[in-house]
Amino acid sequence: MTRETTRVAIIGAGPAGLLLGWALRRAGIDAVIVENRSVEYILARVRAGVLEQGSVDTLKRLGVGDGVATNGLIHDGIYLQFAGERHHVDFNELIGRTVTVYGQQAVVADLIDAHKHDGSPIYFESSDVAVHDIESPSPRVTFGHRGEEHDLHADFVVGADGFHGVCRPSIPSSALTAYERSYPYAWLGILATVPPSTDELIYCLHEDGFAMHSMRSMEVSRLYLQVDPSESIENWSDERIWDALHTRLGVPGWTLHEGEITEKSITPMRSFVTSTLNCGSLFLAGDAGHIVPPTGAKGLNSAIADVTILADALIDHYADDDVALRRYSDVALGRQWRIQQFSQWMTQMLHRHPGGSADHEFDYRSQLGQLDYTTSSTHAMRSLAEQYTGLPL
């Protein structure tokens, strides 16, 4: 058994864990990151793509913003499409804020690169990761790595291990309540090697269901289709996917360009929030504590927001000020519930609710009314702009 000590043991090398480890390292606070997947797996994982202005500012402030500054695509707004018409919502004109399209994969690659040069140690491909003694001031993490058993002692453990990680379940059930809801739809997402057919993201409600056109670069497009959660990706040939995208996204005088599909997968949609992000010496950050349906592009941004708050709180703690650390859970969850509300609103407005009943038809027409209002009232557009580009930290 190899015994080690550090200040902060971080479980998970997703965006939350990597950014926290980096922010602490820059402040001279020792941290160790323990991850159960390989670096190759993590770098290949395709997920979110839109960064709020505040997330970009955080990456730049922490010295890991060169990639996003060079390769990020700044978007002034989005298109909302419904009833066969496309409407532009110009955030920059409305409130002077923008978003940046830059893939989560690229954020993670930049962070891993930074850690390699001058960062926290990362144990990739760890096995049997477990946290112990979280209700004491000396918690531990045990794990296997390259045939060795490790016993990592720390002042704090941070669970940045995503929704399916081990940290949240290690909190006694009496100390935590889960608030959640699932949705009767899922997203089929593709990456295609073709220049985007649009300058900004298109979110579309069509009678057949939601569709979206996003991008990763001027050479790679990212597109999504609402599908039934029970759908299997094997039932969706490339041809069927493009057909559905043409039907849902098509408007007169506009062409959707097809390209080689290099990745396709189906993601279920869920809203989930824990009642606390702190139990004793354990703190949760990112998807470990909350998840949103992807429609508002908030998952990655929420992980970055949590970590920004938690890193500052831990830095204060080591400067003998514990106020922010004690308030971390309340502050981060307060912000998170506003984000939950926005993500749920975007999701319900833009997806076709399954059914065939009179309610179902009523819902669809009511959603069209909601979209009509949202794209014609300056107040409604400002509210959307404010929330989409990101609430202040």
**C-alpha to C-alpha distance for 365 and 202, rounded to whole angstroms:** 20
Report whether 288 contacts 165 (CB < 8 A).
yes
Q: How far is the CB of 339 from ligand FAD (least distance, A)?
A: 10
Is residue 388 annotated as a catalytic residue, yes or no? yes
Binding mask 164-193 for ligand DHB (x = CB under 6 A): ------------------------------
121 phi-psi bin (left φ>0, alpha ψ -120 to 50, beta other):
beta
Is residue 203 annotated as a catalytic residue, yes or no? yes
**Which residues make up the interface to ligand FAD (CB under 6 A)?**
11-17, 34-37, 42, 47-48, 104, 126, 129, 160-162, 164-166, 267, 286-287, 294, 297-300, 303
The SS3 assignment for 45 reads coil
In the bound state with ligand DHB, the residue whose beta carbon lies nearer, of 214 and 375, is: 214
Is residue 298 annotated as a catalytic residue, yes or no? yes
Q: How far is the CB of 17 from ligand FAD (least distance, A)?
A: 6
Look up residue 198 and give its amino acid. Answer: T
**C-alpha to C-alpha distance for 328 and 323, rounded to whole angstroms:** 9
Q: How far is the CB of 107 from ligand DHB (least distance, A)?
A: 12
Alpha-carbon dihedral angle through residues 348, 351, 353, 356, given to the nearest 10 degrees? 150
> Closest by alpha carbon to 203, among 68, 297, 325?
297
In the bound state with ligand FAD, the residue whose beta carbon lies nearer, of 16 and 154, is: 16
Look up residue 260 and give its amino acid. Answer: E
15 touches ligand DHB (CB under 6 A): no
Is residue 79 annotated as a catalytic residue, yes or no? no
The number of beta carbons lying within 10 Å of the beta carbon of residue 321 is 11
Is residue 116 annotated as a catalytic residue, yes or no? no
The number of beta carbons lying within 10 Å of the beta carbon of residue 341 is 14
Binding mask 246-285 for ligand DHB (x = CB under 6 A): ----------------------------------------
Give the number of residues written for the chain: 393
H or E element, residue 342: helix 323-350
Interaction partner, residue 295 (ligand DHB, ligand FAD, none; CB < 5-8 Å by kind): ligand DHB
Interaction partner, residue 222 (ligand FAD, ligand DHB, none; CB < 5-8 Å by kind): ligand DHB
State the residues that interact with ligand DHB by CB under 6 A: 48-50, 201, 214, 222, 294-295, 297
Residues tagged active-site: 75, 203, 294, 298, 388
